[in-house]
Amino acid sequence: MGFDWPLVSVAASLRNEGGVVREARIVLGAVAPTPWRSKAGEAALAGKPLSEATAKAAAEVAAEGADPLSDNGYKVELVRTLVRRTLLALG
């Protein structure tokens, strides 16, 4: 029997009106002892159209201030990539 845990996970939802993000929720998993809501990442999207540039900006902000342990610094880039891809998939 084996066990498997994600390296990182992202849950996100967007409410778009007229091509503009009116409300966003971004929650990161497997990066802290409990799920981590990225209010800064959400704010980076508010009032803007969802595009590659805004998704990338939100992903960068979502990872800002990350303080990884010595053996899991690689997770920071994984978070950036997964947030960006998840947001674009919602568009």
Model confidence over 61-78: pLDDT tens digits?
999 888 888 888 899 999
Q: How far is CA 47 from CA 4, 6, 19, 20, in A?
A: 38, 32, 10, 6
pTM of the model: 0.90
Within 10 angstroms of residue 38's Cβ, the number of other Cβ atoms is 24
Over range 12-28, report the average pLDDT: 96
Task: Considering only CA atoms, give the Rg of the chain.
Answer: 14
Q: What is the pLDDT of residue 69?
A: 82
Q: Where along the chain do its domains lie? A: 9-90
Please choose, from the candidates 47, 40, 36, the residue with its C-alpha nearest in 3D space to the C-alpha of residue 14: 47
With beta carbons less than 8 A apart as the criterion, state whether 8 and 30 touch.
yes
Q: Which CATH architecture has domain 9-90?
A: 2-Layer Sandwich (3.30)
- Confidence class for position 32, pLDDT limits 50, 70, 90: confident
With beta carbons less than 8 A apart as the criterion, state whether 85 and 53 touch.
no
